Chain A
């Protein structure tokens, strides 16, 4: 479900500062899952929660950016700038957590983030190299529960 109501999704009103209020909302408790939650492994549920959190932080950053663009009061702007800094931090922590849990995502991100030059070009190259590299290493298929051993050439004999 991609379209959600602002009442639930507006992080400026409902995000982390009021966790109890968010949890009481039955819809919020489960709409981050695209598949039945009871069929998902624990690590996939955690991954989905952090993906939802990442989205909320990005939305909050965007909304603060808009409010800052129109707010004339310097004191109010300073407060919102400070709050937006918090959202930058939250976004980065969420992202780092997710990248640690997905080696393929991490590898692609390494080819794109903090690089000079054409972003799209870096993206295409990073994706191609990472996907081909994962296949060559015998990386586990997404969603499988294999032991993930794959090929061992180049490993210490």
Chain B
């Protein structure tokens, strides 16, 4: 039995499949970081830290004439997003209902995807994670609300990367507000802005819940490393006569290997 304790939940295997499928459908569009950075793993729940290959000198060894250094590692963080499903709805799922209310799962999936994106793009100090946008040495480019000039901003970001020796293709993570504006906009002549931006970056343009503004990021590989312990999973917590308490969970570390391989575009 795994640490997820799924076998203890009053949920049939068929309904577990419904729940898992719904989670994948909701998570996949929102997991922007995984579409733009290097993903490695999963290494399992027991994976606890990523090797940084660096040390910190310790003042004084245990005995005279001996020096000491301590290895530095990046500890894995665990993200949890709890949700509850009513047992009535789960019973309906067993009967084959097509419209089972999984709204709580949908909300939890969105939140944990936002959290992962936020940690990767904007960092998470308490967890020791430096985000892509904050690590970038390039001056941030103000994005603003006028999306007709977004191509100019994105082109400036691409130029900054080229000047730093970072070859393309590039990806563009757009926060939800900016993404919607881009999707709604057609330039003079009817050419969709979305396609224009994609032409500039020569790579993916992704909807990135949790991102403020946008980030242009190298897609050549090896610059941004998302190291997965336990990949996104659903576990069981408790139940009573009315509901079942479940949670989404994942564990990972993230580090920026090449800070100059991204440019932040602030809202």
Contact = CB atoms under 8 A, between A and B. Distances in A.
Contacts of B42: 138, 140-141, 144, 146, 150
A155 B204 CA distance: 9
Contacts of B23: 147
Contact of A157 (B35, B44, B231): B35
B149 interface: no
Contact of A138 (B40, B207, B219): B40
A149 B232 contact: yes
Interface string A38-55: 010110000000000000
A95 to B, nearest CB: 25
Interface stretch (B1-9, B57-65, B74-82): B1-9
Contacts of B92: none
A26 interface: no
A12 to B, nearest CB: 35
A42 B7 CA distance: 11
A7 interface: no
B27 A147 contact: yes
Given A138-B42, A140-B42, A145-B2, A151 B34 contact: yes
Given A138-B40, A145-B6, A150 B231 contact: yes
B24 interface: yes
Contact of A146 (B13, B204, B233): B233
Nearest to A137: B39
Contacts of B35: 152-153, 155, 157
Interface residues of B, number: 34
A78 interface: no
Interface residues of A, number: 20
Given A147-B233, A152-B31, A138 B4 contact: no
A138 B39 contact: yes
A133 interface: no
Contacts of B154: none
B44 A141 contact: yes
A85 interface: no
Contacts of A135: 40
Contacts of A136: 40
B82 to A, nearest CB: 16
Contacts of A42: 13
A148 interface: yes
Interface string B165-197: 000000000000000000000000000000000
Nearest to A136: B40
Given A42-B13, A138-B39, A147-B231, 8 more contacts: A39-B1, A41-B13, A141-B42, A146-B230, A152-B31, A153-B38, A155-B28, A157-B206
The 9 A-B pairs with the shortest beta carbon distances in the complex, nearest first, are A151-B39, A152-B34, A157-B206, A157-B204, A146-B231, A146-B233, A152-B35, A147-B232, A138-B39
Interface of A: 39, 41-42, 135-136, 138, 140-141, 144-153, 155, 157
8 contacts: A145-B6, A147-B23, A149-B31, A150-B42, A150-B231, A151-B34, A153-B35, A157-B35
